[in-house]
Chain A
Amino acid sequence: MSAHHITMALVMCNAIESSKMTICLHCGYYFIFYNTSLSLSLSLSLSLSLSLSLSLSLSLSLSLSLSLSLSLSGQQMEPVSLPPQSRVALCGGTHGNEMSGVYLVRELQKLEKVGSATLTTVISNPRAVQMCKRYTDVDLNRCFTDAILSSPVTDATPYEVRRAQELNTLLGPKGSAGAMDLVCDLHNTTANMGLSLISYSAQDWVILHIYRQIQRKITSAPVRFILLDLPLADAYSQDSLGKHGFSIEVGPQPHGVVRADIFNIMKEAVDQTLDWVQCFNSGSAFEGGEVDDVYTFVKSIDYPRDPETNQITAAIHPQLQDRDFCLLHPGDPMFLMFSGEIVKYEGVEVLHPYFVNECAYYEKSIAFHLARKMTLTIPPLRVKRD
């Protein structure tokens, strides 16, 4: 760490009020502050230029990327206690052609209890599962916003909107005291994303502790956390129905196919989740600390398209294909046109692409998403005893 940053850190410490994340625009270092204590968590992203000296500019050409996690002061966050996770829901087939979840839910239907918690298994979109398609009318996993859940049902209402409202009754109501404690939604992707957990909040300690356990225990695939920064009312996916919710996304797998290696990874992740719930409910204390490999959504990039026909005119460049979560620098190739030209990334910030070449996103005009990488600090956690 340079003197520059120690000074910056001290200056920022004095200005803290509540959780804030801020970025040093000069060099891309991220600072995250929690509470009013002066504990400080730093997440560093270093860019090494070809001469291998520490470069403080955001410019191109990179061969290595280091991610360091430092805890400057010894102070931890205050311990947190939360109610037991008594009602857990596991959902598969939210997209009818994402097969790991469909088969895993079928397997786990036999299981009714997980320790003291009840387990509800759901095939979210049975019609789509039957047809082995993503959806029949509209994408079910975009129907869980407050607006759509409360919209009146008419004859013209698409199947998935009705189903979303049914699921809201079964697993929710969203935002209420009666909702499931934990909703876990199972998905696959054609992108090379390994095992990714997706959720909305950087402060849902239940989800983040589950993530940490999965990350520690699973070695058969890289494990990452994707943060979607949206208020609950706008949260559109099924996992937002629960008091705590997250999606498990495993790839790469073609839609309509079940691969044993991918199925086994998802099964491990679900087993670890249920194991954590059991331990938590029975009183285990989970120590605080840091979780890294957290990615916050920044923006998405579409394919180059023909202005008249809207057909795509390029494919993801071979150097980007399958390289989800690697660094994309300004000047790196993004697309290879059918005519042979290369389209390069022209953003200013070095970011991490994910959902690279996801089949279902062609129609949503998304070639890939871009994210910033960060580290979060989590408090010690245990179950609240009445």
Chain B
Amino acid sequence: MYNTTELCSVVSGHSSPAAILCKCTTRTAFISQLVKKRQPWILLPGNFQRLLSRVLKLALSSEGLYQLFNIPAFTTAMTSSTNVSCFHEARRVAIFGGTHGNEMSGVTLVNLWIQNGKEIHRKGVETKPFITNPRAVEKCTRYVDTDLNRAFTTENLSAPSGDDLPYEVQRAQQINEIFGPKGSPEAYDVIFDLHNTTSNMGCTLILESSKDHFNLQMMHYIKKAIAPDSCPVLLTEHPLLKYSTSRSVAKHPVGLEVGPQPQGVLRSNIFESMRVVLKHALDFIELFNEGLEFPPCTVDVFRVSEKMDYPRDTNGNIIAMVHPNLQDCDWEPLNPGDPMFQTFDGTTLRYEGAGTVYPTFINEAAYYEKQQAFVTTRRETLAAGAIKKNIGQSYSV
């Protein structure tokens, strides 16, 4: 039997994977080593991928693992002969507000539902409203020590707990214990994370994985339900730009970003739109749990592409603002040559990319310190297979 250290070096050396797997002490040790080494799936050699895929399919049942590794072969292997993906009933659903303490719609809605949960009650579902960052909410600030919505990294979650850790890291560990553990079968089925933005993004749904068919079907349902109002879907699946969100603790994380709204302000129209979107999302879950089969569908999404910072001087000070032509134009095409920034004395700086992009998070207040004026996206159509509730034996995905 290999111990975990040896296993680690052998894995990184890519020698004799079949032999290693057969001699795993425990599968969790093996997985934890893989996680610690942060081997992205695509970097593992081909034969190792195929072998691992077969072994995991037989030996493991964690959907969280699938998400962790984004294993493509895994999904297709799990569909039944009629090509309907079966999922466990979504029994445990959480609604997070106050992940950023000054994003008022979520804070207000969650506090309302903590007082009286009638509106979010659905048959057969445990819906738990939860304030994720109470200290930041109390001070009406985005965060106290560090951004909670970036704190759910594997490193933070597995670090030994202690009072010397930043408040938000401690909080992330607590949240992971209550609603996770992230990547495990015990994790909550769905988490809705409520956010506001100063950008003119309307009601945006944020999708973390292009292979989450459950979420894709939910978002398709929501978009249809609120039509003719639009509900853009932002796909944050990106090797560099993806970040570790509070909702990522769940099997199916759903971000809800509604704007424009200044931080610290509660606008009635924004509040009510968020409320309506959530209502449709919970309706979808209820229908799913009742056994409704959702046929295959396609969902138009915007996949994040590139982060664009403000022009700055040598001291790091911003020397230009988002151009009036770009301001408030989230989701609209930005073509090469279009105005992008305007210096304080009125000069126009233009977009010099190769092709048309769709910018979003344009002039978000919280992103000045993250060196982001806006993020570019590209349009994509994702296909979601048919889904329905798993009724018999669990061969869960």
A interface with B by C-beta (< 8 Å): 103-104, 106-107, 132-133, 190, 252-261, 263-264, 311-312, 315-318, 321, 336, 338, 357, 359-360, 362
Contacts and interface: CB of A to CB of B under 8 A. Distances in A.
A257 B264 CA distance: 13
B263 A260 contact: no
Interface stretch (B54-62, B86-94, B175-183, B266-274): B266-274
B265 interface: yes
Given A190-B262, A254-B198, A259 B321 contact: yes
Contacts of A312: 266
B269 A254 contact: no
Contact of B324 (A133, A261, A318): A261
5 contacts: A263-B321, A263-B344, A315-B271, A321-B269, A338-B112
Contact of A316 (B268, B318, B321, B363): B268
B365 interface: yes
B53 interface: no
A61 to B, nearest CB: 23
B269 A259 contact: no
B264 A255 contact: yes
B344 A362 contact: no
Interface in B103-140: 108, 111-112, 140
Nearest to A336: B268
B327 A190 contact: no
A260 B266 contact: no
Given A256-B368, A359-B264, 14 more contacts: A107-B344, A107-B345, A254-B260, A257-B365, A258-B321, A259-B322, A263-B321, A311-B111, A315-B266, A315-B268, A316-B268, A321-B267, A359-B262, A359-B265
A260 B344 CA distance: 8
B263 A254 contact: yes
| Residue of B108, B262, B263, B318 contacting most chain A CB atoms (<10 Å) | B262
Contacts of A132: 368-369
A359 B108 contact: no
B344 A321 contact: no
B342 interface: yes
In the complex, which range does the number of interface residues on chain B fall in? 20 to 34
Contacts of A107: 344-345
Interface in B252-289: 260-269, 271
Contacts of A311: 111
Contacts of B140: 362
A261 B365 contact: no
A359 B140 CA distance: 11
B323 interface: yes
If over half of B's interface residues share one DSSP class (helix, strand or loop), that class is named, otherwise mixed; here it is loop
Interface string B353-369: 00000000001011011
B111 A260 contact: no
Interface string B66-109: 00000000000000000000000000000000000000000010
B262 A254 contact: yes
Nearest to A107: B344
A316 B266 CA distance: 8
| Residue of A103, A256, A357, A362 contacting most chain B CB atoms (<10 Å) | A256
A314 to B, nearest CB: 8
Given A256-B365, A259-B322, A317 B262 contact: no
| Residue of B327, B344, B369 contacting most chain A CB atoms (<10 Å) | B344
B366 to A, nearest CB: 8
A255 B268 contact: no
B298 to A, nearest CB: 34
A317 B267 CA distance: 9
Contact of A103 (B260, B265, B344, B366): B344
A259 B198 CA distance: 11
Nearest to A306: B115
B106 to A, nearest CB: 13
Contacts of B264: 190, 255, 359-360, 362
Given A315-B266, A321-B268, A338-B108, A260 B327 contact: yes
A38 B345 CA distance: 49
A340 to B, nearest CB: 10
Contacts of B198: 254, 256-257
A255 B141 CA distance: 12
Nearest to A322: B267
A359 B363 CA distance: 18
Contacts of B269: 318, 321
Nearest to B264: A359
A260 B268 contact: no
B318 to A, nearest CB: 8
B262 A260 contact: no
Contacts of B365: 254-257
- CB-based closest 6 A-B pairs: A254-B262, A256-B365, A315-B268, A359-B264, A254-B198, A260-B321
A335 to B, nearest CB: 9
Contact of A259 (B261, B271, B317, B327): B327
A311 B262 CA distance: 19
A235 B81 CA distance: 78
A184 to B, nearest CB: 18
Nearest to B317: A106
A338 B342 CA distance: 40
A103 B108 CA distance: 33
B170 to A, nearest CB: 23
| Residue of B260, B267, B268, B369 contacting most chain A CB atoms (<10 Å) | B268
Contacts of B318: 103, 258
| Residue of A190, A259, A260 contacting most chain B CB atoms (<10 Å) | A260
Nearest to B266: A315
A318 B363 CA distance: 24
Given A254-B365, A315-B271, A260 B324 contact: yes
A132 B142 CA distance: 12
B150 to A, nearest CB: 18
A280 B53 CA distance: 82
Contacts of A104: 344
Given A107-B344, A254-B198, A260-B323, A315 B267 contact: yes
A316 B112 CA distance: 17
A311 B137 CA distance: 12
B265 A357 contact: yes
Contacts of A316: 267-268
A80 to B, nearest CB: 36
B178 to A, nearest CB: 24
A259 B342 CA distance: 10
B324 to A, nearest CB: 5
Contacts of A321: 267-269
| Residue of A132, A258, A263 contacting most chain B CB atoms (<10 Å) | A258
| Residue of A133, A254, A362 contacting most chain B CB atoms (<10 Å) | A254
A364 to B, nearest CB: 13
